[in-house]
Amino acid sequence: MKRLFSILAIVFLMAFGTANATTNAATVATTVATTQEAATTDDAAEEDLTFHQELKKRFIEGGPGFMGIVLLCLILGLAIAIERIIFLNLSSTNTKKLTQNVEDALQSGGIEAAKEVCRNTKGPVASIFYQGLDRADDSLESAEKAVVAYGGVQMGQLEKNVSWISLFIALAPMLGFMGTVIGMIQAFDKIQSAGGMDATLVAGGIKVALLTTVFGLIVAIILQVFYNYIVAKIDSIVNDMEDSSITLMDMLSRYKK
């Protein structure tokens, strides 16, 4: 009888131990799975960062000081570039059509009719035509001088504020390089304060320093594209102004005869 009780007790202890072991194993497995899921979730969250979130993260890591100044250069440069592009597109006219309309009006209605056509047309070419026609009653020399003088005025209006874009193009990478130098100095200060070479301190400082340089170069590249487009547009309009001025003087010379 005692042996039976002993056997039952041993079976009970073994069963209880096995249950505890199973429970503990399940708990450990659950904990490991939870940890792995959390790590996987964190990795997925890092991988699933959108472009805007990644850009914001890098901007904050680069430091709000110089990064904010470089961002201001980008905003101001883009504002001026967009304003210039709108102005230049509004200043573009169909010079061939305008020249033909002025010539037809000059032959049919004289100087006043041609001036009326210029008044009803927007753009620097029409303004130059008007100034030349307005002096045509005096002499061809006076008309030519008026065209040349007013052409210079129109060129000044076309190139207005363009120099600011070139300034921001040069300033953005320079500010980025300055942020890099300051970041390196701060990294070496941390190494000196720590009293030893710590790879984490060096890597963090260099990372912050290089982010300012990258952002400055990106701003300069963006503004350079807009600047080249604006310069090309200005050159195109100026060429039209010069060709149209020559055509106007030829029309006035034939009209005077």
**Residue in the structure block whose two tokens are 């320079």:** 174
Among candidate residues 125, 124, 129, the one with its CA nearest the CA of residue 106: 129
**The two structure tokens encoding residue 73:** 């250069």
Q: What type of residue sits at position 130? A: Y
Distant-in-sequence, close-in-space partners of 57: CB < 8 Å, separation ≥ 6:
49
Q: What type of residue sits at position 78? A: L
For residues 74 and 157, give the distance between their C-alpha atoms in angstroms, rounded to a whole number. 23
Residue 201: per-residue pLDDT: 64
pLDDT bracket for residue 7 (50, 70, 90): very low
**The two structure tokens encoding residue 100:** 């033909």
Span 21-30, pLDDT tens digits: 334 434 433 4
pLDDT bracket for residue 12 (50, 70, 90): very low
- Residue 94 is given by DSSP the state -
Entry pTM: 0.71
- Residue 122 is given by DSSP the state -
pLDDT bracket for residue 252 (50, 70, 90): confident
Q: Helices (H) and strands (E) in the chain — how many of each?
A: 9, 0
Angle at CA 74, nearest 5°, toward 187 and 173?
A: 45
Question: 182-190: long-range contacts at Cβ-Cβ below 8 A with a sequence spacing of 24 or more?
Answer: 182/66, 182/209, 183/63, 183/208, 183/209, 183/210, 183/212, 184/209
Among candidate residues 111, 120, 100, the one with its CA nearest the CA of residue 140: 111
Higher pLDDT: 114 or 79? It is 79
Could you tell me if 241 and 154 are in contact, meaning their C-beta atoms sit under 8 angstroms apart? yes
Residue 169: per-residue pLDDT: 94
The radius of gyration computed from the CA coordinates of the chain, to the nearest angstrom, equals: 38
Residue 16: per-residue pLDDT: 39
Q: How far is CA 168 from CA 31, 49, 67, 176, 216, in A?
A: 55, 30, 14, 12, 10
Span 184-221, pLDDT tens digits: 777 777 777 776 666 666 666 677 777 888 888 999 99
Which range in 11-20, 64-73, 167-176 is most confidently predicted, on average pLDDT? 167-176
Which range in 24-33, 48-57, 141-150, 231-240 is most confidently predicted, on average pLDDT? 231-240
Distance of CA 132 to the CA centre of its chain: 41
Span 113-158, pLDDT tens digits: 888 888 888 888 888 888 888 887 777 888 888 888 888 888 888 9
Looking at 38-52, 53-67, 78-92, 185-199, which range is the least confident one?
38-52
- CB count in 10 Å sphere of residue 151: 21
Q: What type of residue sits at position 126? A: A
Angle between helices 111-119 and 124-134 (to 10 degrees): 150
Residue 19: per-residue pLDDT: 40
Residue 257: per-residue pLDDT: 66
**The two structure tokens encoding residue 153:** 């005025």
